[in-house]
Amino acid sequence: MTLFVVAAVTILISMALAVVRAVASPTVFDRILAVNMFGTKSVLLVAVFAFLSGRPDVLDIALLYSLLNWLGVLAALRMVEREEFYSSEPDDD
């Protein structure tokens, strides 16, 4: 149990770092990367939480998250590839 708590706290810290990157990032590409990384971390958090709360069947949701996260990032990258969305300028106003 302690192991799962430590793992959950560590994952939450790395999630916070990804959020910081998504909120304050120089380019759009960094944001996409941060979103992707946050999605991966939330998959891990769901998996750890499943065992922490004693319901291993919640693992199915972790699988769904990983599939969906991949889908969203893929769609964004397709769009960047097709259009002139990507630029290295900062996108704050």
Q: Which residues bind other proteins (CB under 8 A)?
A: 1, 5, 8-9, 12, 15-16, 19, 22-23, 28, 31-32, 35, 38-39, 42, 45-46, 49, 52-53, 55, 57-58, 60-61, 64-65, 67-69, 71-72, 75-76, 78-80, 82-83, 85, 91-93
Q: How far is the CB of 32 from other proteins (least distance, A)?
A: 6
Q: How far is the CB of 62 from other proteins (least distance, A)?
A: 10
Q: How far is the CB of 55 from other proteins (least distance, A)?
A: 8
Is 73 exposed, middle or buried, given 0-12, 13-18 or 19+ CB atoms closer than 10 A? middle
What is the spatial distance between Cα 25 and Cα 92, in angstroms, rounded to a whole number?
A: 9
Q: How far is the CB of 12 from other proteins (least distance, A)?
A: 5
Q: Which of 63, 18, 73 is nearest to 41 (CA)?
A: 18
Q: Which of 72, 21, 12, 61 is nearest to 41 (CA)?
A: 12
For residues 45 and 8, the answer to whether their CB atoms sit within 8 Å is: yes
